[in-house]
Amino acid sequence: MTAVAIAPVDLAPFAEIAEAKAQAMIADALAMAAVVAPCISTAEFSHAEAAKAVIRGAILRWHEAGQGGIQQLTSGAFSQTMDTRQTRRAMFWPSEIQQLQKMCAADSPGAWSYDMMQPRSSHIAECAWSSGGQYCSCGALLL
């Protein structure tokens, strides 16, 4: 059993979606979310409600895609077109992918270290900096 579970009932307060369509959309969204953030498929995932909110938002946006209209106004030689249609591109926006991946990163320990050594000099031996000067004459500081 995965930690993130979404049912058609979770979508009902926001939109009227047929049961079969909602089930298919939920299955697709959970599968795509597992691709970008594999940890949401594990039972130990601790941010299930937050992930559910992100995925539910993507499903509702997908449901609303294509709705809207196009309006064109013309007066003499001038015209104006307003397009309020929403097109579906990807399942998740880049910000939603980052949120899901951040939820996974919070659960996994990462390697870290402190560098206690001074940075190595890339100045040539003839540089004024290497011989205690106040300036760099070789151009290494420009790199």
Domain ranges of the chain: 8-107
| pLDDT over 70 (residue 126) | yes
pLDDT digits (tens, 9 = 90+) for 75-104: 888 888 887 766 667 788 889 999 999 988
The pLDDT > 70 percentage for the chain reads 83
Give me the pLDDT at residue 113, please: 75
Give me the pLDDT at residue 106, please: 61
Q: How many CB atoms lie within 10 A of CB 97?
A: 19
CA distance 21 to 63: 9
CB of 68 closer than 8 Å to CB of 83: yes
Q: Note the pTM of the prediction, 2 decimals.
A: 0.61
CA distance 45 to 10: 20
CA-angle at 47, arms to 27 and 51, nearest 5°: 35
79: CB partners within 8 A, 6+ apart: 72, 73
Q: Which helix (H) or strand (E) holds 80?
A: strand 78-83
CA-angle at 59, arms to 61 and 104, nearest 5°: 115
